[in-house]
Structure 1
Amino acid sequence: MLERTELVIDVISDVVCPWCFIGMKRLEQAISLIDDVQIKPRWRPFQLDPDVPAKGLPRAKYMLDKFGSEERITAMHAQIAQLGELDGIRFNFEDIQVAPNTLDSHRLIRWAGSPKAPDGTQSLIVKRLFELYFEEGRDIGDHKVLTEAAEECGMDGGLVAALLLSPADIESLRAEMQSARAMGVSGVPSFVLENRYVLVGAQETTSLVDALRQVASAKARGELSKDA
């Protein structure tokens, strides 16, 4: 059996971004269509609004302050819901009560990507957080919700609960997000293939498949080596 080319894709996203949820679904579909490449997603943190208080804000008022009118918000939600349905997402905006600060969610995502965690745990956590927020209307800034999500995805809930009460990884995550902004990342999702090629936005599945195949082929030919 031929050894499959390994391809690393860093996904910079925020779990309160509906386009990131759509982007995750499309990436998931793209990976399922590529059998001859071993694709390893790594989820990187980004906060669309790091100034939201730790306890969150009432989402209805938050959205109104941000977008200016109920009509605009309704139209935006309808457009996103229609697109999401095509990718198997049941956006349930009316049930979302809290606009959370996502720093603790990103801490959980980082811990799920630990070398000690089983392969795929990080992607499971990311998917579950999107589902909890956008489909079930849960507060993903709440430590209890995050701990439950961790347990559902096979993580040690007691350890996660303890870590959430500590300052673990807060400063390093903030530094990573600041670095991303300094490099010009202002919109999410952003897909970084092999630390070289960047796709911005919720790409169509076919576009992701094409990009992944092209970069994997270039890597297999040795064209991505440091000396190339």
Structure 2
Amino acid sequence: MDNRTGVSVDVISDVVCPWCFVGQKRLDRALEMVDGVEVDVRWRPYQLDPSIPPGGLERKSYMLAKFGSEDRLRQMHTSLKETGAQEGIAFALDAIEVSPNTLDAHRVLRWAGSAGPGVQDRLARRLFELYFQEGQNIGDASVLIDAAREAGMDTAVVETLLPTDADREAVQEEIATAARMGVRGVPCFLIEGKYAVMGAQDPGVLADAIRQVAELKARGELEAAS
């Protein structure tokens, strides 16, 4: 394969989706399995629940209403913790006090996409860690600004834009576009804007998909195959 072949992977996800955190870890492993392919990972927005108010909701009550009972919620937490442990994630689900609206987090992620190589990826990872491992409210502006700083962003820009409506509609339109494409759950890995791998798949599945698309692209057959 041409070792100059480059492939884009758009990860459509929500930063409060635990399976998206698992998917991020599995994508990392998949990329280690793909030789001779330069992969450009880009994070795209999705909201599991856009109806959550800007200030968020009390987490336990929200989750009980969603899952119906403490027993069912406990089973879900146990399963997630077991899966997370296999991927190096220490889920601290009981530490989460607020279920946030994630629109502002996605706005900052959008700005991170033009802030330099690797910045957006670092920010996405940090937001997952803050929410799922540290129990932080990633709907809070100060938390988002601190995360942006850690990822290498110019926080003066974030501090200026975050209180405004900058890119609010653009993010919502991206989410609507994903829905029109048939995305009904996340994570969704969109390879070269054409081939979708749904769910937190095994790293081998992701690696095979990336490799196959890269081979088609290297042979100039990508358009014909779409």
**TM-score over 0.5 for the pair:** yes
SS in 2 for 1:225: helix
- 1:174 aligned residue (157, 172, 175): 172
**Cα deviation, residue 227, structure 1:** 9.5
Separation in 2, partners of 1:172, 1:201:
25
**Cα deviation, residue 86, structure 1:** 0.6
**Cα deviation, residue 57, structure 1:** 0.3
State the partner residue of 1:69.
69
State the partner residue of 2:80.
80
**Cα deviation, residue 34, structure 1:** 2.2
Separation in 2, partners of 1:190, 1:69:
28
Q: Is 1:213–2:211 an aligned residue pair?
A: yes
4+ residue stretches of structure 1 with deviation over 6 A?
Answer: none
| Identity across matched positions, percent | 52
The letter of the residue matching 2:194 is R
The letter of the residue matching 1:67 is F
SS in 1 for 2:223: coil
Map of 1:33-44 to 2, 5 A cutoff? 33-44=33-44
State the partner residue of 1:201.
199
Alignment TM-score, normalising by the size of structure 1: 0.95
State the partner residue of 2:111.
111
SS in 2 for 1:89: coil
SS in 1 for 2:41: strand
Separation in 1, partners of 2:37, 2:18:
28
Separation in 2, partners of 1:98, 1:147:
18
SS in 2 for 1:192: strand
- 1:129 aligned residue (127, 130, 133): 127
Alignment gaps of 5+ in structure 2: none
**Cα deviation, residue 3, structure 1:** 4.5
Give the superposed CA RMSD.
1.3
- 1:186 aligned residue (178, 184, 189): 184
The letter of the residue matching 2:72 is R
SS in 2 for 1:39: strand
- 1:227–1:74 CA distance, 2 compared to 1 (3 A): closer
More displaced 10-residue stretch of structure 1: 51-60 or 30-39:
30-39
The letter of the residue matching 1:71 is D
